[in-house]
A and B are shown apart, each in its own frame.
Chain A
């Protein structure tokens, strides 16, 4: 073998090794949580209240709290995010304003999650007097997830062929009619992908809800948006670090439910996206 051929073999070998170092732990993490968490799952684990200082019983209030947060934050962020994407893709000119908006989106995506928590505390909990409540937490999470919705929707809108718009304009349709009837219907799967991805993101975030909604333990399920709530990621945090003597399978079970929910959301989004690509 030539010298260069040997070098190439070594080089590619190093790259492959690096890839293994990345991929193997990921697989190990998922398998470990599935293997250890599966045993903890039962009807009563998923659907009953915690007992004995959360050392027994189930995680129902954490699941319910997370469902509340997910729905409320998406209900807030999805319309704003989709309309913002429509503006950027269909209306915006290439000017300073548009560049500022893009910069703001990038920064919003880069702000530390705990800083979102501080912001939510300062604006929603204190200034607007919403208190520590589902509404404060959902608005905070909604703003945090806005960049995900905007960027995926914008990609979906841009992927709609230009000719669809031209045909619509040539038939005398106004800009909004064109967007509404010729563009949006073809971008639906992309919008859905963005929404589902952000559901996964919202469900897994802990830091933004620490001071805005999360409760250590509540004896009752939340009844409305102004109540405090427990949430899965925060629950996993406190039973891991704050309460001694929690059985290990109880922790793995909670981690399994959380990661299961997040991964199902991600897989669904991926499937929708690849189906939409194949159609095109």
Chain B
């Protein structure tokens, strides 16, 4: 068969398309490799155990203490607070939007959720500092409003669009026959929702909660601006904390290249990368299992 110019062009274009298809894999691999490249050197100065379990993060003291336990606990505390608020609210709102709301309202409510997901996190952080933080300080009589609780409220808000849209998809994907069957047996609409629909939608709803957790755990700017940035082990929700993400964002600018501090910040990045990887993988498995049934 003769190779016409058209065939050669097509061959090249299709190769290019294939390579672009592979791009996502390449980029994920590159992210991991280049985090490792800088981050693995932290093990020259601390052991893995004292890095992950060390109680003190004093990166610029001499010698530097590079334990990220306070940061991990800070992230966990803020995330737990946010999820406790956002998951019930988000699921309830998803049920309302998917099953109860009149059709015209549904569009308006969905638009609101989309607007929320579009607001840049730095704008929410700005409003957090100027409106939410002084407000919480006054009504709760705290020495400062820059606390884990402010961060949790902020992050709950940012996780809501993820939780609502994915739960709503899961609720809509429940086969009609389940609902019709329940209604035909004389169940009320409400009974159908919380006895039947919720079971069909459960894997999707759990995935929604997990992706919400992933979103919250990785969120940087808003949480850095409202949590007060104290890298100490927190005891309550109402004191300043410092998350893993905020530590990188706040300190990378000052960490000189090649210092243990610099390597440690990259190592924190590796920890974040692995956590988000595990969360997304689990959520994806749940979503697929939900779809297959």
Contact = CB atoms under 8 A, between A and B. Distances in A.
A84 B17 CA distance: 6
A237 B221 contact: yes
A4 interface: yes
B253 A26 contact: no
Interface stretch (A49-57, A142-150, A217-225): A142-150
B120 A83 contact: no
A30 B253 contact: no
A240 B248 contact: no
B257 A126 contact: yes
A114 B115 contact: no
Contacts of A29: 119, 124, 127
Most buried by B among A29, A79, A258, A262: A29
B193 to A, nearest CB: 7
Nearest to A2: B188
B31 A111 contact: yes
Contacts of A265: 118
A94 to B, nearest CB: 13
A210 B20 contact: no
Interface in B1-55: 10, 13-14, 16-18, 20-25, 27-28, 30-31, 34-35, 37-38
Q: How large is the interface on A (under 10, 10 to 19, 20 to 34, 35 or more residues)?
A: 35 or more
Contacts of A18: 88-89, 92-93, 96
Interface residues of B, number: 84
Interface in B79-96: 88-90, 92-93, 95-96
Interface stretch (B64-72, B137-145, B175-183, B274-282): B274-282
Interface stretch (A7-15, A40-48, A156-164): A7-15
A17 B88 CA distance: 12
B289 to A, nearest CB: 14
B136 interface: no
Interface in A75-130: 79-81, 83-84, 86-88, 91-92, 100-101, 103-119, 121-123, 126-127
Contacts of A83: 16-17, 20-21
A261 to B, nearest CB: 10
A165 B107 CA distance: 33
A266 interface: yes
A233 B124 CA distance: 11
A23 B109 contact: yes
- The prevalent SS among residues of B at the interface is helix
Contact of B120 (A91, A119, A262): A262
B40 to A, nearest CB: 12
Given A206-B221, A237-B221, A26 B27 contact: no
A270 interface: yes
A245 interface: no
Most buried by A among B164, B191, B269: B269
Contacts of B121: 113, 204, 206
Nearest to B284: A106
Contact of B280 (A25, A106, A258): A106
A5 B188 contact: yes
A176 B245 contact: no
Nearest to A27: B112
A21 interface: yes
Contacts of B73: none
Contacts of A101: 21-22, 24-25
A173 B174 CA distance: 40
15 contacts: A12-B96, A19-B101, A22-B160, A91-B21, A92-B21, A101-B22, A111-B31, A114-B218, A115-B31, A117-B248, A119-B35, A127-B34, A147-B24, A237-B225, A251-B126
Q: What 10 A-B pairs have minimum CB-CB distances, sorted nearest first?
A: A204-B120, A112-B218, A87-B21, A18-B92, A83-B20, A8-B190, A15-B96, A104-B24, A122-B34, A110-B280
